[in-house]
Each structure stands twice: as structure tokens, then as C-alpha cells.
Structure 1
Amino acid sequence: MTNIRIVTDSTADIPLALRQELNIEMVPLKIHFGDEEYLDTVTLQSEEFYPKLTSSPHFPRTSQPSPAEFLDLYQRLLEEPNTEVISIHLASVLSGTYQSALLASTMLEDSSGKVHVFDSCSASYGIGALAVAAARAAKAGQSVDEILELVRTMRENFYIYFLVDTLEFLQKGGRIGKASALFGSLLNIKPILSLDRAGEVAAIDKVRGHKKAVARILELLATDVSGKTIRSLHIAHANNLEGAEQLRAAIMQQFVVEHVDYITLGPVIGAHAGPGTIAAFVSTV
């Protein structure tokens, strides 16, 4: 029987205990404050990152893993007999992480076709949910083809909505333009953001005030999941548990949800979204 191993990167924001339980391997991205370099969720945890984000004179920068880092991991995993690897990563339009993993897979000797690199077209638990589902399917004895079909189906039936306190961090990180960031700071306008099917950050609506933004998310979600069952809801936050609890309560009051959990946004995702961000990751598969 084929031994299938799941690999992801640190932007998947999978809690450590769950990664260990499911034997998911993780390659960290890097985060830089001036000349200081940290490994995302390895040498810098969320509880250390957010205070540093507000106190440091340096705006954080992020960088992808090198192909060599992926290659070392793939080689180690493939030393196990009859092993194949499914490697699920941050949207290729947001980072070069996917390309690093893909390049590493082509550098393997005598292991052609044994590493399957998958573009999540997502971020944070939009990646994490796919990796967790893949790991559980591997444990259940499903084949590589079955698991890849599962994550493709999940990717097409996944919905993300997030609210940021400020668009400053997305603008400085190059994810949106200056005009959008300026507009968002005026008149308490709260843009409701999502990721499009390619993984690009997209504003799907703009409303005034936090309460109206949450109410609008409920309307959007009702349209997106009409006729479907919400299999899982993961509420994520960037040092804003109170806001996360409010969003969870609002969704749970209106929808039947089979599974709900909280996720903390890790340093790399938090560096782009900014402190105070809350998000809902919804799967109907």
C-alpha cells in the first residue's frame, strides 16, 4: 500500500497539535523586522508577533522558502518505502512558495511523479482545511488520485470572508493599491474582503461600521451556501478573539454548522492582514 504524506507551509495556519496528530509536514515562510529574521510559527509565534508588530520601528517583510528547503524535506520523506507526497501551498498569485515547491519536485532524482504539488488558490485556513482533509483521507486509505480530487472539490466549494481594521498592511505588503487603502480609512468604511478563485485579494463589498459589515457577511454567506450544508466553519483572528467570537455567534445563529473551531492567524498572514483582522473560512464539502 502507498504511504501518502501531506506537506504544507506555515501560512496554512494549522494548529501545531493538529499537525502533529495528522502527521502533516510544514515548511515555514520567513518574516523580517529590519535585520532580524524569524521562521513563521517556529521561531516567532502569534502571541509574540502581534505585540512586536505594534512596537517595532520596522514594518515586517515576508519571504518564501527556497526550493532547497522543500527538496530536503521531499528527499527525507521519500526515503520511506512506497511513499508519495501531496504538497499543498499558498496561492501562487500571492507568493512564490508554490513555485519553490514545484521546482523542488522537478529536482528529485529517481522520484519522478512521486511529489504532487497543489496550488490551494487560497491563504490561511483556506490552505489548512485542504491539508487537514487530505491528511485524514490518507489515514483512511484513499489513493493519491482520490485525495487530489477531494482537495480540488473542496477548493471549489470553499468561501472566505474577512474584515480588517485597516487596509494599511495589505497596501504596504503590495496586495492592494494606495487608493484602496486611503478609501478604506475614510468614514469608517469596512471593506468585506475575500479571495477570488485564483487567490487574489478582492473587495466584495464596502459598508460603514463593524456591525453592518458582519450583517453583510451573513447575507453574502446565505447566497453562497444556498441549498448546501456548512460542513465546517473556522473563525480566524489576528489578536482579536472578541471580534472572532462575535462573528462566530452571528453565523451560528443563522446557519446550521456541523463543525466550528477557532484559528489564530500566524505571523506571515498577520503581517499582511494586520492586527484586529477577523475571518470566516467556510467549507460545504
Structure 2
Amino acid sequence: MSEFRDELDPPFEVIEPPACRAPILFNSPHSGSTYPRDFLAESRLDIATLRRSEDSFVDELISGVVGHGFPLMRAHFPRCFVDVNREPYELDPRMFDGRLPSFANTRSMRVAGGLGTVARVVGDAQEIYDHRIPVDDALARIEALYKPYHRTLRRLFMRLHRDFGAAVLVDCHSMPSTAGNRDERPRPEFVLGDRYGTSCVGAVSETVEDTLRDLGYSVSRNKPYAGGFITEHYGNPAAGLHTIQLELNRALYMDERRYERTAGFAKVAADMETLALRLADLPYEELRPYRAAAE
């Protein structure tokens, strides 16, 4: 992977408005679609199969929020190369040649499922590699991509908190329209994850859910997705830091087989702008640290 730093230049970007209208930050960590050449050569899968793990076009769907005064961060690297919605060292020792650091988490449910910080599988459990990869390769991805991404995201989130006294991070993802089981009913159009009410105050979750329902969408909360690493570790409502994960059903806006936008794309994009504006209308008193609010 000696060339991936150059190929992924920049590996992610922050798009900021001239002035922030409100402390609302949008993040798209899984929409990256720049695949390093060495990674493609090393994978046993073709790029179409690898793309099954992408949140394709989610960054484009939410890009309109910038024009309304809300910053946006997005990854360019794909999640199957390194996944920033995991712990920094959530790694499967069976994947690697060499010894993992002693502090690596090798026993999480996500590692067991092949979906650690460096993934073992994509799609319906298809193995990415037919051989072990050097452990130094995984560690290099973490140092070059994962850590800078989180440093930047944290800095941006905390700057909004400093400027406004509170901040809301909307972590945006997409999900397949079904889980692939023949008898499974279609998934909701949106799934909101607030870690069962622990990653943000109720006013944030309620505003998102009510807005989406008003716009005509079916909405579920915390099932089947309650929020990942970012939602859990960036949310601290007592300190005025709020995170919510937003999962969009891909059937709303794209052809899931052809990886193409559909006619529904423009409506969903416009509705994301409406959602941002509704969140911006939340009274800051409901978002600021509990102690300050009590005073």
C-alpha cells in the first residue's frame, strides 16, 4: 500500500459555509469511493462487489446543507479499506501476518462478523482477501487515514461547541432496502440511531423523526441500527455534545444493482436540507450542558 496516500489526496474533506448558521455538523464517513490500486489488486473481489459496503452518494445527498450554513465532512476512502465508524484498533488477528498490538480489540461482535476497522468481508459475508495481509499494512491505514479523520472531525465538532455552547453531529449512512432474506419485509425509509437516548437529548431525536414523518417517510428508531462508534463516542449530552445516526434506505434514491442515482435523488436531497433547517431551529437552551441549562 505504498501509494495509497498519494491516491487518496485528499483522503477526506471538510466543506464549510462562509459562516455557520447553527451548530449542526453533517458527516458522511462511508460514502468514499476512491479505491487504491494496490488494494484492488490484492482483493479477490471486483470493484462492483467491494462497493456493496459503500454508502454510495450519501455525501452528495447532504451536500446542499452547506449552502444553508452547515459544515459537512466526508471521506474519500472506502469503508472496506478502513472504517472510521469503528474503534481505532478493532482488528481480526486471523486476517494478518504479524502480531497485532496488545491493545487491539480482537473480540468484538463487529470483528467476529468480519467488519472491524480493517474489514475482512463485504456484502453478504464475501471475503475480501484470499490470503493474510501484513499487519503493518493495517496499522499504516489507521495512522494515515483513521486517526487524521477523527482528529479533524473532533476539532470541527468542538469548534462548533465552543462558538455556540452546544453542537449536534448528524452522522449519515445508507442501508440496503432489505437484508436479503426472502421473507423479510422492506426496511423503513429512515432509521435513527441515538444509542437508545444516550447520545443526544430527546429534542434532537424527536425533531429528526417528526420532520421526516412530516415529509412522508417511514421512520424507525434504534432498530435495526442504534448508532455506531461515532454516535456512541462523540455524543455527550450532559456536556452539550449531541450525535444522531441517520440511515437512509438506498431504494429511496439509487438503483442498488447499478449504483446509479434514480429520479428520487433530488427529493431526498431537498428533504435533507429541510431537516438541517429544522434542527437549526432548536432552542440552544435545550442543547447546552445540563448544568448551564439548570442555571
**Structure with a larger share of its residues in strand:** 1
Structure-2-length-normalised TM-score = 0.27
Structure-1-length-normalised TM-score = 0.27
